[in-house]
Amino acid sequence: MAPIRLRHPKGVTTLQVDVDSASVLDLQQQIYSVTDIPPSQQDLKSGYPPQSLTLIPELPLASLGLKGGDQLMLMQKAGASSAPFQASPAQISAPSYAPQASRPPPAASPTVGATHARGPDSVPTEGGYLVHRIVPDDNSCLFSSIALVFEQDMSKAPMIRQIVADAIRRDPNTWSDAILGRSREDYISTILKPSTWGGAIELTILASHYSTEIASVDVETGRVDHFTPPPASDSGSRCILVYSGIHYDAATLAPMLDAPADFHQTVMPITGEGDSDPVIVAAKKLADILRAKRAYTNTTTFTIRCQVCKKGLKGEKEARTHAMETGHVEFGEY
């Protein structure tokens, strides 16, 4: 362990960091525990004059070139509020290595959908309002969102993780090493850790477990991904998740904007074909509102340069591949 001195809005803290084996995300999580600034909102600078560090969570901490005794300066990204960051471990549908875009003041057109001036974003639809339900930015956002929807209790996220682990353990044919991208036992032990994100594999399993379609609307593109249960057990209902590129939230149906959470309908019957269903239409309008606020992260177009060989790279996938092929782990923004 090595000391890293952190200057932040609350003061100065000396962190004890494993600079040899920790990941960038490990450092971000440690900073979060001290400052309450989520990783997606952290702007870290080092050196003199201070230069912003390129934070790619899954890369080794060595990618930042830090050593014991270094000093970091932390600022919260402009336009960011003290709310959510996060999303996936398997990274199948939820890559998450680029910083989240800063969020300028709301600029949603009134033709897109209605918003509640003093509450979360919402869209009027049949039977009430589809309301954006923000969950904590703590690496369990997918599991917290599912717990909110099906268990009405976000604190049951660990139970949701266990459901996934048990399903993988019971079905080695469907969830083989090849499908999981690693050994089954490794995947199971990893997904049970609160620091591990969830993605397409988890949503597929949970849709089957709850016999309910999980529709995930992507904020940046408005695309809706439908995770459906087996036809024999399909209840004919669906729930809505909102995906920012690095974070999952839920969306639930309220009879009125100021209705307490207990009155929200978290699972809705499917009443229309495909994306013509009224709830899906409302979910896409909700994504429009969030997109207008730039409340999303594009992890595929983030451009960086290898500081060792100066090769230009685009997105977390190219950065990770380059690091694995060359051993180069120091990156900077263009």
Angle at 123 between CA 117 and CA 124, to 5 degrees: 110
The catalytic residue among 116, 209, 226, 328 is 328
Angle at 162 between CA 158 and CA 168, to 5 degrees: 145
DSSP 263-327: G-B-SEE--SSGGGSHHHHHHHHHHHHHHHTT----SSS-EEEETTT--EEEHHHHHHHHHHHH-
Q: How far apart are alpha carbons 147 and 156 in whole angstroms?
A: 6
Assess whether 138 carries a catalytic annotation: yes
Assess whether 306 carries a catalytic annotation: no
Assess whether 26 carries a catalytic annotation: no
Query: b/e string for 181-200 if b means 16 or more Cβ within 10 A?
Result: eeebeebbeebeeeebbbbb
Assess whether 328 carries a catalytic annotation: yes
Token duo for residue 173: 């044919």
The catalytic residue among 8, 141, 277, 306 is 141
Token duo for residue 85: 């960051």
DSSP 80: -
The catalytic residue among 247, 277, 288, 322 is 247
Angle at 18 between CA 192 and CA 193, to 5 degrees: 5
The catalytic residue among 138, 218, 249, 277 is 138
- What are the catalytic residues? 138, 141, 247, 328
